[in-house]
Amino acid sequence: MTNEELYLAVALNGWKGNIARADKMFSGLSDQELLKEIAPGKNRLLYLWGHLTATHDAMLPLLGMGPRLYPEFDVAFISNPDKTQAEIPSVGLVRKAWREVNGRLFEGFAGLQAADWLSRHGAVSEEDFMKEPLRNRFAILLGRTNHLAYHLGQAALRPK
């Protein structure tokens, strides 16, 4: 492996480890458990799971891997707080979307070479990227891994 490939492999390991941890935790919960709050008055586990799914779905266009699969998740899980929307995607749909979105990302990751990760991500213009070369796909990967860890820490507080 080249040095570039080593850097990337460590980061992809981190992503995979966090996805596996989240997958084991969320997928192992019953529909009823997913409707519980992580702590009194705080977000429900379903909200966290939907929020992570929507965030990962939005990585697809950011990383140049095609359009989003579930853009309608944003109203329920990103732009509004939990327990404010009358209708949100069902537990079954979140389960399905989580698998599908992360599966699509893994496929996309496999098609990228080490240097591809250093090209600009989808939310930065060519002009801005000339000035700010760290706004690349690799930054999206690390940022979203951190975001996942952040919410995993919260989900770990749920009543057991």
Residue ranges in 5-24 that form contacts with its own copies under rule CB under 8 A: 6-11, 13-14, 18
Using alpha carbons only, give the angle 152, 49, 27 rounded to the nearest 5 degrees: 85
Give the ranges where the chain is alpha helix by DSSP (H): 3-27, 31-34, 45-57, 59-62, 73-77, 91-110, 126-131, 137-155
Is position 119 an interface residue for its own copies (rule: CB under 8 A)?
no
* Residues paired with 96 in a beta bridge: none
List 20, 35, 115, 130, residue binding its own copies (CB under 8 A): 115
Question: Looking at beta carbons only, is 55 or 68 nearer to its own copies?
Answer: 55
Residues that bind its own copies (CB under 8 A): 1, 3-4, 6-11, 13-14, 18, 38-40, 42, 114-115, 117-118, 133-134, 136, 138-139, 142-143, 145-147, 149-154, 156-157
